[in-house]
Amino acid sequence: MATRAYAGTNVACNDEGYMTNLEEWTQQVGEEIAKEEEVEMTPKHWEVISFLQDQYRAEVPLTIRKIGKSGVTNIKEFYQLFPNGPLKKASRIAGIPKPVSCI
């Protein structure tokens, strides 16, 4: 298990760069991961990130469909906010594991 330096601290990450401990996440950490993902964060982005984290804490598996029904955003907008693989990208910024919606 490796760590990566974000916002002046070392946070635990897996090989694919997903954080393994949400406790270590701060908005600054999220901001820096977003830069790596080439996403410019806006208040709407943070609203979605916070929804993802809540769902993760509640142990609800995340799917694109779930995002569409979240009331926070719709699927079309979700793709505009986090282009190319929005759920993977947003999960990484949110400091939660890569979604395993596939069985």
Partner 1 sequence: MKNLLILGAGTAGTMMANHLVKKLPANEWQITIVDKEKTHYYQPGYLFVPFDIYKPEQIVKSIDQFIPKGVKLVREPIDRIAKDEDQVYLANGEALSYDLLIVATGTDIAPDEIEGMLGEHWQESIFDFYTFDGASNLRKKLMNWEGGKMVVHICEMPIKCPVAPLEFAFLADSFFKNKGMRDKVDLTFVTPMDGAFTKPRATKELNYLLEQKNIRIVPNFNVERVDGEARKVYDYGGQVVDYDLLVTVPTNMGDPMIERSGMGDDLNFVPTNKATLQSLVKDNIFVIGDATNVPASKAGSVAHFEAEVLTENILAYIAGKEMNGSFDGHANCFVETGNGKALLIDFNYDQEPVTGTFPIPGVGPLRLLKESRVNHWGKLAFRWIYWNMLITGKPIPFVSSAMMTAGKDIEPAPAEVG
- Half-sphere exposure of residue 54: CA atoms within 13 angstroms, side-chain side: 10
Whether 13 is a known active-site residue: answer no
- Closer to partner 1 by CB, 4 or 66: give it: 66
Reported as type and span, the H/E element at residue 48 is: helix 43-57
| Out of 31, 66, 72, 97, the residue judged to bind partner 1 by CB under 8 A | 66
In sequence order, the β-bridge partners of residue 2 are 13
Is 17 among the residues that bind partner 1 (CB under 8 A)? no
CB 78, min distance to partner 1, A: 8
Is 44 among the residues that bind partner 1 (CB under 8 A)? no
61: which residues sit within 8 A by CB, 6+ positions away?
Answer: 99, 100, 101
Distances (CA, A) of 93 to 9, 32, 73: 16, 8, 17
Is 14 among the residues that bind partner 1 (CB under 8 A)? no
| Out of 69, 72, 81, 95, the residue judged to bind partner 1 by CB under 8 A | 69
Binding site residues, partner 1, CB under 8 A: 61, 63-66, 69, 75-76, 78-79, 83-86, 100-103
